[in-house]
Amino acid sequence: MGELETGKQLRVRETPIPGFLVIDLPVHGDNRGWFKENWQREKQLALGLPDFGPVQNNISFNAQPGVTRGIHAEPWDKYISVASGRVFGAWVDLREGPSFGATFTIEIDASVAVFVPRGVGNAFQALEPDTAYTYLVNDHWSAEAQGEYTFLNLADPTAAIAWPIPLEQAELSDKDRAHPTLADVTPMPPRTTLVIGANGQLGRALRAQWAGRTDVEFAGRDRIDLARPETLEGIRWSSYGTIVNAAAYTAVDAAETDEGRRDAWAVNATAPARLAAIATAHGLTLVHVSSDYVFDGTSALHGEDEPLSPLGVYGQSKAAGDLAVEATRKHYVLRTSWVVGDGKNFVSIMAGLAERGIDPSVVSDQVGRLTFASELARGIDHLLASGAPHGTYNLSNDGDPVSWADIAQRVFARLGHEPSRVTPVSTEAYYAGKEGIAPRPKQSVLDLSRIRATGFAPLDQHEALDAHIDAIAEESRGS
């Protein structure tokens, strides 16, 4: 029997398998036995162990040396240690990607633990009698989940694991003997990203951004309607890794009515709170799109840490949604402004007026930047792909701030019409005599320094606007 190593310092070590970690555990012993902190969240997180949120603890008791189990890749993360005895552990990366087939082995006694990411094949061989192999997992076992396992043969020649006790002398199950070799293994795909609100402007932009990806699932209102909470039920959330909430109630003026107020709060506040609870329960990343309307527009430049100060029902419901989403640990709240994408929006409306010979009056005292849906989609992709720190980010196009009237005049000019056909007016003059109008922030310029610090460079709004107008003109000529 091997001698237990005591006196180690707590540390986390990386291995050739991405995300697979070895944890050295301090063990304190005397003539009575030994004691260790097997799982200590605060200390281990500080050293780089993922906060994987275990929900189930399992123990495998192995009566004799030579008992060998695996190689099983499971659809959850595991934290493995032994309570008594020793094991020879072997792991093979069975995930899609460049590390597929990477192998790592280590002997585990009470002073060693390992963190096994989802999709990494796990196996062990007991080296001592009465070995208790214990592991925490971050999802509950079910027969449905077992159908998502990926298996590899213990004797696979490519992995070529040097078992201390030869397999012909070991105790194996018939199922483990029958598993396929690496050449016949279908790699475990990554967890799926679910886009809610997939048919809106942002949803369509995300379809274009992630075209060809098989790990993204798009759900329109026919499947998930945030105004109807029951559509969130019955979904196997543990099969997802990320939720992108691209849905919102955006009828700013209608939100001031009795019916609109209820709908705005249901979609913009209550539903994000439910999504945040789901994300917390299943360890998911939640991406939520917010608005400049959470501010009252009295600041010339809005930073992410500015206190919330919404003026109307729409802004109030969006602010409530932000607070709800921020309660789940792995979140990205993206505050944006003046969104333009595929479909009806301010730019398309101005283009239509120009072509029909209508001369509009447009407000000139509301100042901000456009956010093209394609830019918002690109920013979401960047944050997720780069693993940027979770939190709240402003995200719009860059460039000198402008008014709505400035944008309208640029649309007219780009389409070959006289920009003076657009008459700049104040907000008060534009809405004079109209009822049920929601208050608008006068200043909507967002500080982009935080998202720039992650390596994302927002594109200039004026260049993006010109390209968008040209696309509208080309589509008009082709129709």
Catalytically active residues are: 72, 135
3-state secondary structure at position 221? coil
**Which neighbouring-strand residues pair with 88?**
107, 125
Please name which of 363, 383, 382 lies closest in space to residue 430, comparing C-alpha atoms.
Answer: 363
As a dihedral over the C-alpha atoms of residue 343, residue 464, residue 351, residue 297, rounded to 10 degrees, the angle is 80
3-state secondary structure at position 151? strand
3-state secondary structure at position 75? coil
d(CA 121, CA 119): 6
Sheet holding 240-245, edge to edge: 216-219, 192-196, 240-245, 285-291, 331-336, 391-394
Name 31's Cβ contacts closer than 8 Å, sequence gap at least 6.
none
Please report, in angstroms and rounded to a whole number, the separation of the first and last CA atoms in the chain. Answer: 81
Q: Are 272 and 325 in contact (CB under 8 A)?
A: yes
The rounded radius of gyration (Å) of the Cα atoms in the chain is 28
Q: Are 20 and 117 in contact (CB under 8 A)?
A: yes
**Which neighbouring-strand residues pair with 87?**
108, 126
Please name which of 172, 21, 164, 39 lies closest in space to residue 110, comparing C-alpha atoms.
Answer: 39
d(CA 8, CA 29): 12
Task: Characterize the bridge pairing of strands 21-24 and 103-108.
Answer: unpaired
Q: Which alpha helices (DSSP H) does 150-257 contain, by range?
A: 174-177, 201-209
